[in-house]
Structure formats: structure tokens, C-alpha cells
A and B are shown apart, each in its own frame.
Chain A
Amino acid sequence: MKSGILAGVLLATVSAAAAFAQGGPIKLANVAELSGGGATVGNNWKNGIDLAIEEINAKGGLLGRKLEVTHADSQSNPGVARAQVQKALDNEPYVLLGPGYSGSVKVTAPLAAEAGIAQIMGGEAAELTQGGNKFLFRTSFGQQSSMPKVAKYINDELKAKSVAIVWVNNDFGKGGRDVITKEFAKYSIKVAADISTEAGQADFAADVSKIKAAAPDAVFVYVNEEESARMLKELKRQAITVPLMGETTLVGQKVVELAGEAANGARGHVGLTTDAPVDLVKAFREKFVKKYNYVPDHNGLKGYLAIYMIKATTEKMGKVDAKAFADNLHGLTIKAASEPGILMDATFDEKGDIDRQGFLVEIVDGKQVVKQVLPKLN
């Protein structure tokens, strides 16, 4: 009799726990660059995530369950990022978010893959999705998608025959430098100077002097945001007047804020910008500014999109299943018409790369001005 009661109590407890687990919050883990050299990246990414989660929870959550995220600081250090991801995975999150730095993604991706947890990250290094990792997804273009567009613009629009390349000596910078160099070769564009810099470098006087001595037709700058701002200031100080071309990290909102007037005239290809002529992006910008009182850079958009990627995929599955998540996101096209949070129609291929519209922008009077809209490929 006693054992029957005990079994009944146990059964009830287990059932209640299972029911609670099913209806409890969906746990997400974010590991990002909340301090250190990538603080701009990480904090924008985090704020975008928080905004999206707040919106979804306010509307009743995902499949009736609230989303809950924990934020961990990688300190912009791959070693710390790896430890933080390991810690985060021990709590068995539904999806891992971040990091934003390619170097940190590179060392953390095997951990998430081993755990069978999808990782939605911000890194842009070409190699990240080329190694066959089935659990890694981009929120922005990889360098293999963006650099050909940059090189084509430099050749077709700027008509440059020689270009100085300035890149940051890490996985992100080296990846971009390697891809753009190959692209330049296709157009017979000469690399007038090939200058590597360090993350966190403060003084760019010597680097700019080298550019000046090389006398290129254009300069391609591929360093992190803060260093981009310092570089732009130094380029202006040393009166470099040739076109300055880059990617998102040269023409981001934070760069414009930090570089001030020196940012004017800089051009770049951006996968995402809050200045995009897209109504849903404009609405996102308004909501973000209202909540955080500043205009986000592309990382804010990336964090926001990451959450809506989770929402759309989970709703497609009709259940919360961490193990099936990655399989369902591969090959998925998320339409902005049915999921406005995705902002623009996006397709995720078998490697986890993203395909959607892109933009060519120029900084005019301290603001990003979209010069061209580049269509989705497929």
C-alpha cells in the first residue's frame, strides 16, 4: 500500500515536472563581446536580441512559451568565449547565440556542433561555414558573398587600378584580405600596399604614411569598428583624398559617431543597415532608438534577426526541439510578409549561409546614404 502511494507521488511529481518543463521558458544562451575591443559589436548584438525577445514575449511568447536569454561576456577574447560557451552549453540551451568575432566563432563552433545545438552567430569570416559544420548559421553575409561585390564596385565604379589594403590581423581581417585579394586579381587590380594592423591599435600614423607613399587609386579598409574610426581620422589628418572603400565595419553607425567628419566620403558594402530603404528596417530602427536611445549598427539588426530566425524555424516545426532545429533551418526561406521580424526575405542554404538583399552605402554629412540596392541572389 505504502509503495503504491510512493509510486503515485513520484509519478505525479515527474508528470508535474515534465508539464512544467514543456510550458516553462525556452532557454537561449548568448555569448558575445560585451567588453574589450568588440564591445560595440557585442552590445549592439545583445540589445537587438533583448528587443526581439521582449516583443515576442509581449505577444504571448513562442508556441505559448516565454523566451529567456542569458548573456555572457567573451571579453572579445576567443579563449574566454570558448569557456563561456562551454558553460552555456552545460545548461542545455535551445539555441546558442553569438559570438560576433570570427575568431571566437571559430573556436566555439565545434563545441556547439558536438552538443548538437544550433549556433546563430555574427561572424563574417569566409571559412566559418566552409568546413561542413551543420549547426552554424550566419545572420549576415560571409566574406565570400560580400567581397566580390566590393571588388566589382571598386573596378566598375571607382575605376581603380591600384588599391592599398589595410586589414586587422585576426581571422576576420585575414579572411577578408585573402578573398578581396583574389577578387582584385580577377580584375587585374594591383595591390599597392598590403598593411596588417592589430586589433585595439591606437596609432595609425605609420600605416597611413605607408598608404601615402604607395599612392594608390583607392584604399580598402577592413578593420574593426573602433580601429576604423581611428584610421579614418588619421587618413584625414594626413590628407588622403582617394576613395575609401570598405565593408560594414567601415561605415557602421558607431564608426560614424566616433570618427565624426572624418567618416564623410567613406563607402562600403553593407549586408544590413538601419538606413536601408525598407519599411520593416525603418520600423526596427524606431523601436530600437526608443528603447536604447541610440541608433544601432548592423550588429543590432543581426541580434534581432537571430531571434526571429529562431521564432520562424520553431513555428515551422510546431515544437521546441533543439536537435531538429538545425535541420529545419537549412534550406528555409523566411518571408518578411509572414514573419516581419526577419525584416527582409532571407534564405539559409545547406552551409548555413544567408542570401538576401545587400546595400552599397556612402557616408554623407555624417549619415549613411544607400547608393545601390543589391538584390537577393536566389
Chain B
Amino acid sequence: MSNLLDLLVAGLATGAIYALVAVGFTLLWQTSQTINFAQGEFVMLPAFLMLAVMHAGAPFWLAIIIGILLSLLLLGLGFKLLLVDPMLRHGVLPLAIATMALAIGMKEAVKQFFSAEASPFPSIVPAGDVSILGRVVSLQSLGVLALAIAVVIGLTALLNRTSVGHQMQATAQNPTVARIIGVPVERMILLTFLINALLVALASLLITPIYLAKFSSGEVLGQAAFIAAIVGGFNQVRGAIAGGLLIGVVDNLAAAYVSTQYRAAVPLILLIVIILFRPQGLLGRPEERTV
């Protein structure tokens, strides 16, 4: 039982990061029909941007700020204007392929300019442990979980309780009608891309101290988050959150109680089961064909 608590906390902490990344998948899909297969690399890059700023002599806090701003510029604005807008007019499939190419390009560029080797990355959460229910739990796990939950709550509040959020949801549900009723659709779509860039930058900040900064680190993360988004429901933010947390916990429990050797297969099995019995995901809604 005590072991179970450790596994749950660690699983939720990892799952919270998957959730942050998975939310980006759903946001982009809802507002602009974009499946970003470079989402994992989007998480990898901010860490290297921050490291570059630190290598230039800046303190960690300044590197975080500059790294987030650069992420908004490159992964939000730049991604939309330079890749999504030109490619989307050719259809969703060419765009998806373009994002795959982008993922390869980002990995190779980071490998070329930084290094193929992993680098350490400082943690924003101090080292140490706290005692919960008689168990020693690391501050880092709790910090990751707390920050991720705060971000998700903030995002949910933005979407559900603000005018901007309602306009974003209207854009997601039906951009044509939204435009007719005066919603600045283009601005809302751009805002979505910027939110995604912020989410991946935060995920990068949280996960890199544990996973280390490496050009290939986005591969595992992108795949896990993509599965989480599908399992939870690709067209629902809350689905992505649930999917992320579920994958994190199931992965850890499977590794501990079933087999560490086959842990990589567990999320895939979960994915297949969900697709078979609930194609729209656990909390997703069925997509209707538009005529």
C-alpha cells in the first residue's frame, strides 16, 4: 500500500507533464485542425534555449524568462506563420507530414548546434523530501505535480470563465459561425498557438531536470502525449488532461506490478483498447462529418 502511494505520486507527476503536452495537441486540433507531430520536440527545444542563455552568462531565472519568450516567438508565432498557415491550405495530411519533417529538423539542428550528448538542467523545485501519510515524497515530484495542476486549472479557467476563452471555444466549435458573430477568429487561433508554446515551455522546464536535456528527448514524450490525447479524447482539453494522468499512472503501475520489460507496450495496449471500444476517447465527443 505504501509502495502504491509512491507509485501514484510519481505516476501523477509524470502524467501531469504528459497532460500539459497533450493539451497542446487538443488545442491546436480544435482551433486549426493541426496535428503537430513535432510536439515532443517543442518540449525539447525550450530547455536548450534556456541552456544557451545560461551559457551566455545569464542567471537561471532570466534564462527561464528569455526561454519562454523565445518559445512563444518560435514555437507559437513562427510555427503558425511559417509552417501551419502555408501548409494548411493544402490539407491536414500535408501539414501533418510537414510537422514530422519539422520534428526531424529540430532534432538535427539541436544535435548540430549543441551536442548529441545529454546535458544536466537545473530544477526550479528545490531538492528535499516531505512526509505525507508516513511516506517520504520528493519535493520535485510534488512541485511538478503542483505546477502542472496550477497550469491546467488556469487554462481551464481561461477557457470557461473569460470572454477570450469563450471566443476561443466558439472558434474551436465552428469558426464560420464564430466569425459571423464577431469573434476575431484569426486572433483566437494565434492565441491558441501561443498558449501551446507556453505549455510546452513549462513542460520543458519541469521535465528536463529529470529527463536531462537531450536532442532526442522529445521522441518519448511526444509519443506518450499523443497517446494520452487520443486516450482522453483528442477534441477535449479535459480529455487530454485525464489521458495524460492516466498514462502516467498506468505506466508506473504496470512497470511495478506487471513487468518493467514490457512497460512500453502498456500505453499502446491501452490505446488499442480505447480505440476499439470508445473511438472518441474517454472524455471526447464523436466528430460529426460536415457537409
Contact = CB atoms under 8 A, between A and B. Distances in A.
Interface string B174-218: 000000000000000000000000000000000000111011110
Interface residues of A, number: 35
A258 B256 contact: no
Interface string B238-259: 0000000000000111111000
Contacts of A43: 115-117
B117 A260 contact: no
B214 A203 contact: no
Contacts of B220: 200, 202
Contacts of B253: 206
Contacts of B251: 203, 206
Contact of A238 (B6, B214, B221): B6
Contact of B261 (A196, A226, A238, A257): A196
A230 B256 CA distance: 17
B47 to A, nearest CB: 13
Interface stretch (A99-107, A209-217, A272-280, A342-350): A209-217
A237 B141 contact: yes
A196 B263 CA distance: 11
Nearest to B107: A35
A108 to B, nearest CB: 20
A209 B116 contact: no
B118 A210 contact: no
Nearest to B252: A206
B10 interface: yes
B7 A34 contact: no
A213 B3 contact: yes
B260 interface: yes
Contacts, number: 96
A239 B135 CA distance: 10
Interface in A261-287: 261
A202 B211 contact: yes
A313 interface: no
B210 A230 contact: yes
Contacts of A260: 120
B129 interface: yes
Contact of B140 (A169, A206, A237): A237
A108 B9 CA distance: 44
A229 interface: yes
Interface in A96-124: none
Contacts of B141: 237
Contacts of B136: 238-239
B138 A238 contact: yes
Interface in A169-190: 169
A233 interface: yes
A138 interface: no
Contact of B211 (A207, A230, A254): A230
A257 B115 CA distance: 15
B10 A205 contact: yes
Contacts of A35: 111, 116, 215
Given A198-B264, A202-B217, A203-B14, A39 B252 contact: no
A348 to B, nearest CB: 30
Interface string A25-62: 00000000011100110010000000000000000000
Closest 3 CB pairs of A and B: A205-B10, A206-B255, A39-B116
9 contacts: A35-B215, A40-B117, A169-B261, A203-B210, A209-B256, A238-B6, A239-B136, A239-B138, A260-B120
